[in-house]
Structure 1
Amino acid sequence: MSGHIIEIPQTKGKASIWEQRLKVAAYCRISTDHEDQEQSLENQVAFYTNYVKRNPYWKLVSVYADRSSGLHTKNRPGYQQLLKDCRRKKIDLILVKSLSRFGRDAQETIRTIRRLKAMGIGVYVELGGLNTLTTPDSIIDMYAAFDQAESQERSDNIKFGIRQRMRSGKVLLNHSQFLGYTKGTDGVLRVVPEEAEIVRKIFALYLQGNGVRKIKRYLEEHGIKTVSGKSEWSTSTIDRMLSNEKYIGQILMQKTYTSDFLTGKQIRNQGDLDMYFIEDAHEAIIDKETFEKVQARKKHAAK
């Protein structure tokens, strides 16, 4: 016969922080700019704002948020501001859903938590109910390692899905940063006429004997903007455009790949992985003869 079970509430660690007068912050992060993720970030910010304000003992400092991957902290202004405010002693406690929100690298996360702990600042991790000020370091280390492994698995699954799409001929492009094209409702690239004229001008200038620096100067002097609306052009961008096979309607997928999950560094694929070539994938902006002449001139200039 089973006896009646009575749950005894926890009185140390987790419970103690709810009844202390603390300056509380929260940190949220999403990895993409997709509309559904954007809504998710807004929901997280609203949740933590209300959550902190409901506690009469707590004072809300801010809910810090970033739209960025967990690779590099320098690309996360919200995270940087959070740590800066911690150093200024504006914060006593940080709420976060999981340790992976701090970043992918377990060692970097652990170092950050150690520094915060030395300043008397705790991190309350929702998934696991951990308060880093009262939880043994060995347990924190273990959770950080588990979170990194989970992030690695998600990354590997995403890569697998992308490669399966490549094998089936489905094009994966960031068309918003691709001068000359936009993406139609069917997912196929569509020519943007006014942008296509800029692309043709760049190819024409190169065949007339102008190097990328002269082309850069021409574009800027004539007030021609980049695809992102900037007045200043990058010579490396112009150089890549002149070798981009997509301008003749072809697509070569997986020209680069990420070798290290933690750094996210892109490496040129020199036969390490399969590549996928699609001809006549979309409408061309540059004819093949012009494109081949440009490649021949670039090859000669590189000698």
Structure 2
Amino acid sequence: MMKKMFKVEDIAASSKRKLRVAAYARVSTNSDDQLVSLKAQKEHYESYIKLNPEWEFAGLYYDEGLSGTKKDNRTGLLDMIADAEQGKIDFILTKSISRFARNTTDCLEMVRRLIDVGVFIQFEKENINTGSMESELMLSILSGLAESESVSISQNSKWAIQKHFINGTFIISYPPYGYINADGKMKVVPEEAEIVRTIFNEYINGKGAFLIAKELNERGIPSKRGTIWHPSTVQGVLKNEKYTGDVIFQKTYTDSNFNRHINYGEENQYLLENHHEAIISHEDFDKAQHVMEQRGLEKGVLKKKANTKSGMYSPAK
């Protein structure tokens, strides 16, 4: 049998694999302008990577409408790191440290995880390539600055939101079941409003949340998210003061570590009366709260209630 001969350089050329390059993009809100920005980033990176003959496009990972302060909230970023650890990515491009992470600890942790599997990151704005770094000092300093910037942005955002609370101009982006958001205002959905009234009436007259949820499911009525009703879903309706036409702002708050908590009086709350059309009277709402409190006491499961008296302000009308 005749043996085949190959040049050494031909073998080397055939074994040389293109660098699999992925990109990560993030926009901090889901507003129209930011989504346009995300689309532009997608187009830029895909084109940029494919134009390099030594690179192979390994995908674009992204998150939208999310804060960069906590990596656990960003599925796109976590999916990218998982794929890198599984050997699907060799190199990563991203716009800046602040787009990648605004928390120093998270940034360094993710960079180290990627370096451990031989995957490096190019931060374009800072012109840093983690593959050529002799130490983590510069990255630590820059990510620390990004974290400080994030805290400042968060504080400014909180201030702006509280101003909207105070003057009564805050827009509820996700109204409860029974309402839709039309032109920045909550409008009643008649069919859903009737279900809300039924829930309150039946609860006040003795039915429990479990039975109400069961009957709604048997009637084939979807919940707000289009899924089945649970007892907790029914209780969520019964506890929501928005059905009276009033709104209490700042029921939750974010601490200095960007963790969200129920507001038990740690922060001011703001009551805006007659904010929108009511579905339930104040009288029926109060009756439902009384029934819920009595049943909670009987079962011994009454939970700590948010402090709605201390620090409660009525916005200017």
TM range (shorter): 0.7 to 0.9
Could you tell me which residue of structure 2 aligns to residue 256 of structure 1?
Answer: 252
Q: Does 1:266 align with 2:264?
A: no
Could you tell me which residue of structure 2 aligns to residue 78 of structure 1?
Answer: 76
CA distance in 2, matches of 1:72, 1:220: 37
Could you tell me which residue of structure 2 aligns to residue 203 of structure 1?
Answer: 200
The equivalences for 1:1-303 within 5 A come to: 21-67=18-64, 68-135=66-133, 136-175=135-174, 177-185=175-183, 187-230=184-227, 232-262=228-258, 264-270=259-265, 272-303=266-297
Paired letter, 1:256: T
Partner SS state of residue 63, structure 1: strand
CA distance in 1, matches of 2:32, 2:247: 27
The alpha-carbon deviation at position 134 of structure 1 amounts to 1.0
Paired letter, 1:265: R
Change (3 A) 1:210 1:72: farther
State the identity %. Answer: 37
Contact kept? 2:252, 2:260, Cα under 8 Å: no
Paired letter, 2:154: S
The alpha-carbon deviation at position 21 of structure 1 amounts to 4.8
CA distance in 2, matches of 1:33, 1:165: 19
The alpha-carbon deviation at position 71 of structure 1 amounts to 4.7
Paired letter, 1:147: A
TM-score, normalised to structure 1, is 0.86
Partner SS state of residue 24, structure 1: strand
Structure 2 unmatched runs, 5+: 1-16, 298-317
Change (3 A) 1:72 1:222: farther
CA distance in 2, matches of 1:95, 1:162: 34
CA distance in 2, matches of 1:113, 1:284: 52
Contact kept? 1:155, 1:261, Cα under 8 Å: no
TM-score, normalised to structure 2, is 0.83
Contact kept? 1:258, 1:267, Cα under 8 Å: no
Flag the structure with larger Rg. 2
Paired letter, 1:142: I
Partner SS state of residue 290, structure 1: helix
CA-based RMSD of the aligned residues comes to 1.8
CA distance in 2, matches of 1:48, 1:113: 20
Cα deviation 1:159-208 (Å, max 9, x = unaligned): 11000111111133133x511111232x3211111111111111122112
Structure 1 unmatched runs, 5+: 1-19
CA distance in 2, matches of 1:255, 1:44: 36
Partner SS state of residue 23, structure 2: strand
CA distance in 2, matches of 1:125, 1:145: 15
